[in-house]
Amino acid sequence: MSHQSINAERLLTRIRELGAIGRNDQGQLTRLAASATDKLGRDRLVAWLRAAGLEIAVDRIGNIFGVWQSQDNAGQSPLMLGSHIDTVINAGIYDGSYGVLAALEVIETLKEQGFAPVRPIVVAAFTNEEGVRYAPDMLGSLVHGGGLAVEAALATVGTDGTTLGSELACIGYAGTAEPGFLKPHAYVELHIEQGPVLEREATTIGAVENLQGISWQRVTIDGVANHAGTTPMAMRSDAGLAAARVGLFLREHIARSNAPSVATIGTMRFEPDAINVIPSRAVFTIDLRDPDEDRLRALESALSGFLDRLEQEEHVIVSVERLARFEPVSFDGAIVAAIEVSAKARGLKSRRMTSGAGHDAQMIARIAPAAMIFVPSRDGISHNPREHTDPADLVAGANVLLDVAVRLAGSP
């Protein structure tokens, strides 16, 4: 089976077709979770799943599953392959969608070759992986993995004031199955790297062995609004200056630690937001990541200590809200090794690596052995219309997924 290949043209055509769904008048691609454009993408995916002869199941959080099973294997726990099809704003066409469509392609290829798996194989498309409209990200897989109650998830209020549960109902994807009704034998997710490592090292396949921990916080700093020209610097309670110091602290602290930690202040707004008024309030988000839990906790602690000092030094009041917290994940060693074996058999250069981004695989790893396959991203760009992976690499990754699926679904 390792010498068989997926139908490259079918996979690449579907990636382009799905990538055309959800574009605005300027050609920008946006399929936010549970939106009207998300519905269009979901409808197209479900049509492809049905055409492949798969049973369709949608759970209460909107996760879509295409199930290939027979009378002989219906009682076995399934091999699950998948990712997500929601996007960020003004997105590229590969993030998430590639993994879902490659999973479908693997099943179609196996069916055409007469392969008889000893366990069902399932395509999964999880809801709200990106977390742009509803927080936290990876919400659908988090619920499936038992990390968040479905009622709480459905009550999530989005950035536009909508509620996830009502929006899923509006687009026709408020399913009836209870989340977690399919407990996988194993889960494998194929994804573009979204980073520069594979391309820089001229490596086609990344065997992802772990995934960074993620800490999201929202920080509010309250000071005193005052005249920008008449208030001496030493007599200010400047929320804007205090916020700027947080970003500088994080950069310098991580540089001194010589650790692979990363920190990002992704959003920031000031009040009253006037050029000639000292800000009375700054509200901003902080994204901290590290593949080691102890280092991540140490970074969180260092930030907390700095914020305490900042209150005293800048005469401000600081409050912190926890938005999301996910521990680092170590993936299943046997699946990671199977990825490497397939790459070698196909003459593809591979390397083990850490994922810097969050993925549905980290949530499903709570309930089943899991791992990820990466393929290169040109210039390391993602979440951007310039996101690109060469067709040969897309096909290579799908063929490795095919091999791993045969190994995991073809033996008891």
Dihedral sign of CA atoms 95, 327, 403, 183 in order? negative
What's the pLDDT score for residue 411? 63
Q: What is the pLDDT of residue 324?
A: 85
Sequence ranges of the chain with CATH classification 3.30.70.360 = 213-326
Does 129 appear as a known binding residue?
no
Q: Is residue 44 classed exposed, middle or buried when 0-12, 13-18 and 19+ CB atoms within 10 A define those classes?
A: middle
Task: Give CA–CA dist 133/249, Å, rounded.
Answer: 29
User: HEC states along 261-288?
Assistant: CEEECCCEEEECCCCCECCCEEEEEEEE
- Per-residue pLDDT tens digits for 147-201: 999 999 999 999 999 999 999 999 999 999 999 999 999 999 999 999 999 999 9
| Residues in the chain, pLDDT under 70 | 1-3, 411-412
Quote the Cα angle for 371-375-378, to 5°. Answer: 145
Residue type, 47: A
Amino acid 213: pLDDT: 93
| CA pair distance 108, 68, nearest whole angstrom | 10
Which of 187, 190, 144 lies closest to 394, judged by CA? 190
Residues of the chain with CATH 3.40.630.10: 8-212+328-410
Spatial separation of the C-alpha atoms in residues 126 and 139, rounded to whole Å: 8
Contact between residue 254 and residue 262 where contact means Cβ atoms under 8 Å apart:
yes
pLDDT of residue 1: 43
Class of domain 213-326: alpha beta
Q: What is the pLDDT of residue 412?
A: 58
49-56, Cβ contacts within 8 angstroms, sequence gap of 24 or more:
49/104, 49/123, 52/104, 52/107, 52/108, 52/111, 53/111, 54/107, 54/123
Contact, 390 vs 198, CB < 8 A? Answer: no
Structure tokens at 200: 């820089």
* Residue 383, annotated as binding a ligand: yes
For residue 84, say whether it is annotated as part of any ligand binding site.
Answer: yes
DSSP string, 27-80: --B---TTSHHHHHHHHHHHHHHHHTTPEEEEBTT--EEEEE--TTTTTSPPEE
How far, CA to CA in Å, does 87 sit from each of 78, 132, 207?
27, 8, 24
Q: Report the predicted TM-score, pTM, of the whole model to 2 decimal places.
A: 0.89
95 annotated as belonging to a binding site for a ligand: yes
CA distance 244 to 221: 11
The hierarchical CATH code for the domain 8-212+328-410 is 3.40.630.10
β-bridge partners, 125:
64, 83
The pLDDT value given to residue 27:
97
In the structure encoding, which two tokens stand for residue 202, read together?
């001229």
287 assigned ligand-binding residue = no
CA-CA-CA-CA torsion sign (77, 357, 100, 408)? negative
